[in-house]
Amino acid sequence: MSVTAVDRIGDVKIYGTGQFGGKGAGLVKINECNIPKAHKLRTRILTTTFYDRFRELGGKFGDEELETLASILSKLGNIPISVRSSATNEACILPGGKGSVHAGENTSFMLPNNHPHFPTRFNQLIQAIFFIYKDFMSLQPLDTKEKMAIVINPISGIHLKTLAGPTYFPLVSGVANSFFVHALKTQNPEDGFARIAFGHGYATVLDDFPVVSMATIKNPLPLRLLGKGQKYFYAINMTKNERLEGNELETMSKLHIRFADRKHTKLLGVYKNLVTFEELVQNDRFKFRSDLLECMEIISSQISSHYQIEFSFNINFEKENEEHGVFHIVQLTELPELKLRAIQIPEQAKHTYISTQNLQGHGVIRGIKSAVVVSPFIYSKTQHDTVSRKISEINTQMLERKEKYIIIVPGRLGSQNKNWGIYVDYKDVDGAVAIFEYGVDIAGRAEPVSDEANLSGGIYGSHFLYMIQGGFDEEQKRLQTRMYGTQGTHFLTNLAGNNVIYSFIIPSKDKIDPWFFSPPGPNEAIYVLRFPQKASIYADSAKQKCIVMSKG
């Protein structure tokens, strides 16, 4: 196997003659763009040639591959590095705008890469690639043609000694989308939105604590309307520098903001141990907002489709009065563009099962046979693991039967916080044509509420992108909007990128047939119901109307 490095613009080196995978292809495209406000990211791509060779050798690395990896690591130096999966079926748009989006499904590792002995650092790199390959192989069907590439990058950030030990993290991480699906009438969807966090980027793509959203990037709503701020952050634990066990987050620490250095957080905006980002977003300090907008505009001029980027932002603390900070774009995901054709919703139906006014996704889906329901009246978080596993099992069965189904759940589907909802990966529900979150908090708040404050017996709020709290006109609604920062997570990116109908049911306003909450057996938290006749979904995201009905 020849692994001679091929140099590309922007310090990108490609090893092997195979495919780059989704992340690799995105970074090659970004590095070929001329984005003055974003520094080029050193990128090393192990093409799928390495993966093929790994399989040929029965799950081992050959001498040539080991020599190549040792050379890469020695030239990068002993700085923290990311070792990320780049599957061929991940975040990839084919010619003509077709393709699927599978963000965050495969394992990646953030390595301290600071051990004084090179063989130890090298061994941890090998372990990271080994676990990425093995995890990917375990998830593939027998007849798969998909393969795995690897992307290796240095991580830009700051070292910080804390009471929890030495850490390392970017000052700011974020995801930003070129198109804001749920913009208000007073907002331009083309202005896009961003989801930003202090610390490592896991805070932005996972959903286990609130972070800050910019809605939109060009003219963001006042942050005081978007929540209280960020309370926790992710950082690389620099003592986890010897071995790996295979858990993606094992080198990461989740810390309270109290562990951060206040000289860092005050530059962003901080209030009572919460990072508010007032300085960067409202005051455009270090030209954060304006430079991010310029980056997005340049990419938009060279990318024909909608897209999402993941980025980091740092400043030179020795020159705090510098006008600009430093952006690095660490990932580009091209997204299919949604064609908002007019949806003709039948005026009469034999039976209407669901009617809602808050959704993403667009189109008509017919021939739906089943509904998977997690009852908000029976489910409790003590049943979380069982219910999560059952959702995945049912999804597999439905895919095998090629049967269309919808799913109804309380709270945030896909959240890693069990107080907010049920954690699943997108691949655990990728057969569902529509997801309806039953918001037992009628105000639509993301936080759990006490039993006496809700109308339906549960304690779970909404995972929906945002809710408009009252108001008689658009301006009042604008001023009462709360953005919960869930857009930009891997789970929601996959739903939006694959045009899965995704809706939030407000019990006091929307219609949902009580039939859904009639379990076949007593105390069954999750069950499958068969529609008496095949149902259809009519989803019009332009008019914000979604109906599930049978026409008879």
DSSP sequence for 4-67: -EEEETTTEEEESSS--HHHHHHHHHHHHS--TTBPPPPEEEE-HHHHHHHHHTTS---HHHHH
What is the pLDDT confidence band of residue 365, given thresholds at 50, 70 and 90? very high
* Average pLDDT of the segment spanning 202-225: 82
Same domain, 142 and 169: no
The reply to whether 406 and 502 lie within a common domain is yes
What are residue 205's DSSP bridge partners?
Answer: none
Peptide bond into 216 cis (omega under 30): yes
| CB-count exposure of residue 3 (10 Å: 0-12, 13-18, 19+) | buried
396 and 499: one domain?
yes
Could you tell me if 160 and 274 lie in one domain?
A: yes
In a domain, 346, yes or no: no
**Domain assignment of residue 316, given as a range:** 156-337
Average pLDDT, the chain: 84
343 falls within a domain: no
> CA-to-CA distance for 301 and 14, rounded, in angstroms?
26
Strands 363-374 and 405-410, how do they pair?
parallel
Instruction: Determine how β-strand 109-111 pairs with β-strand 148-154.
Output: unpaired
Question: Which is it for strands 511-512 and 351-356: parallel, antiparallel or unpaired?
Answer: antiparallel
- Asked if residue 238 has pLDDT above 90, the reply is yes
More confident residue, 403 or 439: 403
Which domain-ending residue is among 155, 185, 206?
155
CATH no. for residue 277?
A: 3.30.470.20
The answer to the question of residue 344 being in a domain is no
215 located within any domain: yes
Total domains present in the chain: 3
Look at residues 111, 128, 155 and tell me which one is the last residue of a structural domain: 155
| Residue 239 structure tokens | 């003592």
CB proximity list for 503: less than 8 A, separation 6 or greater? 354, 356, 358, 359, 360, 361, 434, 435, 436, 437, 464, 539, 546
Domain containing residue 94: CATH number: 3.30.1490.20
- Output DSSP code: residue 343: P
The two three-digit tokens of residue 201, written as one number = 């980027």
Q: Is residue 110 domain-shared with residue 84, that is, in the same domain? A: yes
**For residues 349-373, average pLDDT:** 90
Q: Does 101 lie in the same domain as 45?
A: yes
- Whether 246 shows a pLDDT value over 70: the answer reads yes
Quote the tokens at residue 550: 């049978």
Summarised one tens digit per residue, pLDDT across range 479-536 is 444 334 456 677 777 787 778 888 878 777 789 999 998 899 888 999 999 999 999 9
Q: Are 46 and 84 within one domain?
A: yes
Check whether residue 469 and residue 385 sit in a common domain: yes
Mean pLDDT of 419-427: 84
Token representation of residue 398: 């439905």
One domain for residues 315 and 370 = no
* Same domain (yes/no): 282, 392: no
- 342 assigned to some structural domain: no
Q: In a 3-state reduction of DSSP, which class is residue 78? A: coil
pLDDT digits (tens, 9 = 90+) for 132-159: 999 999 888 788 888 999 999 999 999 9
Domain end among 295, 314, 337: 337
Q: Is 162 inside a domain boundary?
A: yes
Q: What is the pLDDT of residue 460?
A: 39
- Residues 268 and 387 occupy one common structural domain: no
SS3 (DSSP) at 502: strand
Residues facing 7 on adjacent strands: 13
Of residues 188 and 532, the one with the higher pLDDT is 532
Give residue 454's pLDDT: 36
Cα–Cα separations (whole angstroms), residue 29 to 20, 360, 376: 11, 28, 45
C-alpha separations of 119 from 69, 102, 132, 244, 474 in Å: 12, 34, 20, 14, 62
State yes or no: pLDDT of 458 exceeds 60. Answer: no
Average pLDDT, integer, range 424-440: 87
Radius of gyration of the chain (CA): 24
Beta bridge pairs of residue 307? 334
Classify residue 539: in a domain, yes or no: yes
**Do 400 and 314 fall within a single domain?**
no
CA angle 144, 149, 151 (to 5 degrees): 150
Please check whether residue 277 is in contact with residue 212, taking contact to mean a CB–CB distance below 8 angstroms: yes
| 216-227 tens-digit pLDDT | 899 887 776 666
Do the domain assignments include residue 248? yes
